[in-house]
Structure 1
Amino acid sequence: MLLGVAACGGPQPQDADETAGQAPATAQAQPEAPDIALPRVTVSGDESAHVVEAWTPPAVEIGEDADRRALRRQAEAALREGRLYEDAAAAAPIYLALSRTDPQDRQARDGLRRTTTAVLAAADRALAEAATDPQSGALERAVALAAVARTLDAEDRRVRSLQQRVERARRVAALVRAGREDLRGGQLDGALAWFREALALEPQDRDARQGLGAVESALVDRAQGEADRLEFDAAAGWLEQAGAVRGDMAGAVADARARIEAQRARAVAGLRDAALRDLLRPNGVRDARVRLAEVLRIARPGDPVAANLRERIDLVTYYGPFRPGQVFTDALADGSRGPQMVVVPHGGFRMGAEDTDPLASDAEKPAHYVRFNRGFAMSLTEVTVAEFGRFVASAGARPRATRRGNSLVYDERSGNFVRRSGVDWRSGYDGRPADPGDPVLHVSVRDAEAYAAWLSEQTGRHYRLPSEAEFEYALRAGNPGRYPWGDAGVPPPDTGNFTGGNDVSPGGRTWNNAFVGYGDGYWGVAPAGRFKPNAWGLHDLAGNVSEWVADCWHASYRRAPADGAPWYNPGCRARVVRGGSWAGSPAQTRSAWRSRVDSDVTSARIGFRVVRSI
């Protein structure tokens, strides 16, 4: 392990347990490291595998007429400066020469004892450094110092102890190297055995402990690979092995187990959602049952999602049709009723902006045909503060703004939107407490999805956010015009809560960019359902608050689904917001308008509504 050491002695014997079954090693000269004074020690064979057993001191010539006093002063100075053995001017070679030429030289013997103590201390420091920084070369220094100490006083118990500690450190280093080699080759059982053997010798060895962590991580990676292939039973087996590596220290294994269980849940939920989409297609029951079989394969026994899906498939198979325009509510588990829903008729429409629309962006194109072969139900209004509050109380939910402690609100003093502390779903557009009948604001898309999932659990029906296509289809309600009411540049009276030129804020502000001549009587959010419904009985799709939909953001409609299903990529953060708002420009009130918003955003302009499969 002494790289760059100049050999100057005969070969030394190797340990029997290290030489058995091995071909004789050939000594090779090692290149000298420039500008570094290294010890001259006797080495042989593979320097990376054997403890140096002896040190040949540099020759110090002491003739009969030598000035021994001067030599002792020279040795004493070298000892003070820490030059212990490196060359003929170092302390150990001089004291050794003085002692050998005159065994009665008490001062030389005393200097030799003090030099031995200094060598032992230096070796202790080197071993400590090697334990914290194995790449520093400190172990090689410790080996060399141990060889020096052995030559100085082989019978000193401290020297024998040092030899044992150096041998143990060398052995631990060799075991760690073997473990790393097996780890690189994917031999995890072998690597684990090497690292454990190293720790049996030195329980606190950092590299061996890191090696155990690396084996654990490799096992976790294998588990993750199986989980990515939806082989969750195999993943559990690898995690069990990973958990045995470090026992109760393996917090990473517990995290991986939770992560993979969450992945299993997402996979089950994704298959469930795909099956529920299948049920919206004609003759889709067969495909849904195929997905159910896959859910049952990967889900844990008794998984309620699998049970719910089985029940839903059976339900849809024999469920009678609703009629278009029918308004209904579902019962919740506590006997109360869910939000009012209206059945949207099936049909087709041209989605997106036409090239003739001068206000259209590229994200709204190309206009394309979407058809719904089965109707769906959509809530008449945005989800209200009261409705969302029932979910929070029942589920014990902590929505995003509540956890974060702030949200974006309208500030009358500056006439702008600012982030304000203490604002969450219970707050209105200006941060003051909202009325129960107002649309709920300051919710992220995850909060909206959690509400829909809770409704599904409460009612046994499948609630979710509308797809982007469903939202625009319901907003247009059969009107192909630029705006939900047609192509006219000003909304008809009582159409909705938009930015009107006649609207005035509590402080006397007016909108810079508004529908000229229009006023709705509100600066801020209006109560849900305050304005007239559209042709299909739906309120406020075009205004009041913009709304989250289920889709991930895509920069255009190229390759968009033609069946109106959500265009969703698992894990996406950029989501879609649709529909105008009380603080949106006229261009944002167009039927085709869409906006990209991060999934964690909460603000005073965004709410949501839900749809339900039928």
Structure 2
Amino acid sequence: MRAIVMASMVAALLLAGCSREQGGDHGAAADEAATGARPTVTVSKDQAVSPVGPWHPPAVEVTEANVLALKRKAEAALAKGTLFADADSALPILLALTRHAPDDQTVTETLSQATTALVAQGDAALAAIDNDADALRKAFEVAAVARTVAPADAAVQAYLGRVDRAEEAANANRRGERALAEGEVGEGGKGGALRHFRQALQWRPGDARANQGLAAAESLLIRRAELAADEHDYAAAERWLSFASRVRGDLGTVEHARVQIVGRRAARIRELRDLGIAALAKEGGLDAARGHLASLLRIAPAGDPAAVELRERIELASHYGVFRPGQVFTEALRNGGRGPQMVVIPHGAFRMGAADGERDAGDAEYPARNIRFDRGLAMARTEVTVGEFARFVAATGYRSRAERRGYSIAYDERSGNLVRRSSVDWRSDYAGKPAAANLPVLHVSWQDAHAYAEWLSAQTGQAYRLPSEAEFEYALRAGSVSRFPWQGDIPPAGAGNFTGGKDASPSGRGWRNAFDGYGDGAWGPAPVGNYSVNAYGLHDLAGNVSEWVADCWHDTYRRAPDDGEAWVNPGCRTAVVRGGSWASSPAQTRSAWRLGSDRNTTNARVGFRVVRDI
């Protein structure tokens, strides 16, 4: 750009407002008049003004006595190349000798030689235009002399044409530089600096000043692309680069700028992705992350991996916070140890309740309704164990309902029935014997389960609670829509602890109402996690032990909430039990089965598990 500015300043000083009346650019002359440009420079036939006017030969006195001396003097000046500077130069002397003796052949031949030398000097000046700021003026001076010396000479006429073209090129360059200074590049092909510089190259192929102008125009377009990139308008940046690429062809400059801008764009995209991900880790950062994604999408190419990643992260965060569906985790307890193992179950929708005409369905399971969970949920992988409940009791001194009243309902092997038995509480197994730590805790009331969840919340600083009835059925079904959580009427092998036709009690008892042909090897609850997980990674929702949920009992689902929240009435005494147990009939193992039970109930078939909001 510095070269262009220098060229422009020189051109302004030497050629300000150049125009020609014959074959010239009259539009340029009008521009000059309008802008108060300096007097024009011309070599036209009828007009010559300062600073290069018509050449008038210096006066040379010729007499018969000095003719020979003048001839010798002219020849010497010609040999030195001193052609028109003063009266001692070759051309003034030769012109004077020609006037004195028009028929002198020697003088005529020497004048012809001098004219040829003059044209050679002019051509040398034209050739030096690209490197010498004074060269064009020299060419004009030669043209003025040549027009006076030999206006009809073919070589002179040809030279004057070359000067005209150089003048046109200089005028075009001047107009191009003016347009460029005003920011009128002409990238759309409708004038501007580019048109003028290309006209200059048509008048004078290879003109350095025009090529410098094109380079400057290209640089200006690249700069506009860079400024657009600074504003993160990469579509505009690419448009400017596309214009720039058509200025001088494939010289590598534009592609280098494109690589730089692409790199900056990629860096900005990565920055926005990282800002969005960082925002997701902050309290209430979801909206900020969405804002970063919106900014990223405005500048990213379609399908950009960073945009895809951030969109997925936001989608996950909107449903799962900092978790991922299927993720398994535990949380530290303030008094030491870890809480229950939790599994993040996916958000989604399901139809809650029994299907129309479902076998064994009761009125309490109707009307079926659609439930949607817009946010995921963490649910305990298994039922709460005796060991986990013991940690709670040890930390708080809590006394369960069965402890305070001194009995619970346990299994009696002799009669094969569930009977009331003294001194049975959460420490006992299904038969009233001491329970192993890895068994699901039994003989707990709804209030006992609720108290454990509250303690867990206080220990972890997170919101633990009993699941709602809708959450339990959603997790139990795990995407299934059939009568049972599996296809068909018989559980798959290893699916869970159910009443199986192959099961037998310690004394050899069997079930009168069981899944024919199924056996799980257990009579009474089995250690947690002993059977396969369902599609959501959860154990024993359909079997082992039935479980307390948060809802109050209602005889039907009429007027039930459709958001999946627990349906609770202040002061209600009856809560909902969900899921089959080791001693449940096949009808009670169905996905839609539900039961109302007094909140103070404790027995050998009911336990619980917790959920955690995420």
Q: TM-score, normalised by structure 1?
A: 0.48
